[in-house]
Amino acid sequence: MSTRLEGSTLHIASTLLAMIHQFHKNGIMEENDVIKGLAALAQPLRLQVFRALVVVGESGLTPGAIQEGLGTPPATLSFHLKELVNAGLVTQERASRNLIYRANYARMNGLLSYLTNNCCQGAACAVERKIAPCC
């Protein structure tokens, strides 16, 4: 009996591992990453910064440009940019003496996919999408 139970437990564990692998393979974010992303966007200034970076696209923005556009003190902006980078929603690149911040569209789309995965139990949603998918 215990051998049968051990075999059953092994089967369940391997099935769970296969499901986890399938989630990663399909680009579905893990729950902890989703929570970090949503927590980072749950602050008004970080949401404004992220939206500004999404709007400008792949060219990104320097902290000075973001500061000028939002009227935010440098230390405050630096703190919020760090939080967005830590959540994976924003990337940072050094270009000469400047830092360039860009929205991480793959992470943003992963977050949206996680939230809408299996929407309406797999049936077509009643709400018609009027916006094109992003990047």
Q: pLDDT tens digit string along 75-132?
A: 999 999 999 999 999 999 999 999 999 999 999 999 998 888 877 776 666 666 566 6
Burial of 60 (0-12, 13-18, 19+ CB in 10 A): buried
Q: pLDDT tens digit string along 61-79?
A: 999 999 999 999 999 999 9
What is the spatial distance between Cα 61 and Cα 102, in angstroms, rounded to a whole number? 7
Alpha-carbon dihedral sign for residues 88, 43, 130, 59: negative
Locate the domains of the chain by residue range.
29-116
User: Does the pLDDT value for residue 35 go beyond 70?
Assistant: yes
CATH topology assigned to domain 29-116: Arc Repressor Mutant, subunit A (1.10.10)
For the chain, how big is the Rg over CA atoms in Å? 20
